[in-house]
Amino acid sequence: MAIPVARHNLGVTELHDAVLDWYDANARDLPWRSATATPWSVMVSEFMLQQTPVSRVLPIHEAWLERWPTPADLAAEPTGEAVRAWGRLGYPRRALRLHAAATAIVEHHGGEVPDSYDELIALPGVGDYTAAAIATFAYDKRHVVLDTNVRRVFARTLSGVEFPAQSVNKAERELAAGVLPQDEPTAATWSVAVMELGALVCTAANPSCARCPVTDLCAWRAAGHPAYDGPPRKVQTWAGTDRQCRGRLLAVLRDADSPVHRSRLDVVWSDETQRKRALEGLLKDNLATEVEPDFFALP
């Protein structure tokens, strides 16, 4: 479903003022947003926050920065330690990608997180959104930052639809660019402010329109809150999936001080076929290693 062009006459300055004033009064106090946060702290947070709520990220982010306050500190450790420290955040390949990015930063950028989009997107595991977010939030650069929350706010406020398309398209990017403030620091604050609005008020389910600072400017509200009519939205499942099985096996390896025998993995998941498939996947993804026949450990 393509996002339609907004059909209402939206005052961009009024929109900016309303969202920025709301953010100034309601922003959460998060460590990666503090005045003393390093670009590395911002980068770590962006990797951890992918498909993971803030509440789960906060303690792991704090422990991570205490142990590895710079990219060089992480790069000096084996990849298995990154997987172990990732804990139960889920999607542990992100830990491997963050380790690979830290290594590249040490090798090619003198241990300092680069500030340009082009250099950031060239790092392992860094895509368009992450590169734009790090450049924006760590260095006050002016980029379109489109995460799930931002896209939902713009879909409703600017385009009058409940949800955006399943993937970012050209029209959506142009729409976001059209309301991005010209001043770089203001643009950076705007990006995080819209993100916060989507996280706290303009939520996917049960949005709090009565508390929204732009409710009088919202095209979706003006249209009577029409229901989403695009392709079926993906619903993530967990129970009984290969992802859950992989997580169970990885937890055994993460909590062990030495290689574990296959029999210790067998007891945490009863379906032998699925367990074998999940273990093979962990080995293929370099999240586990077979140190000797039937003995497994983190890499």
Report the first-to-last Cα separation within the chain, whole angstroms.
42
Whether domain 31-139 has CATH 1.10.340.30: the reply is: yes
> pLDDT at residue 236 above 80?
no
Q: What is the pLDDT of residue 141?
A: 97
State the pLDDT at residue 1: 37
**Whether residue 52 has pLDDT greater than 80:** yes
CATH number at 242-297: 1.10.10
Q: What is the pLDDT of residues 176-201, one digit of tens each?
A: 999 999 999 999 999 999 999 999 99
> Among all residues, which ones are annotated catalytic?
46
What pLDDT, on the 0 to 100 scale, is given for residue 62? 97
pTM of the model: 0.89
Out of 1.10.1670.10, 3.30.750.210, 1.10.150.110, 3.40.50.2000, the CATH code matching 12-27+144-222 is: 1.10.1670.10
Same fold across 12-27+144-222 and 31-139 = no
Provide the residue ranges of all domains of the chain, joining segments of one domain with +.
12-27+144-222, 31-139, 242-297
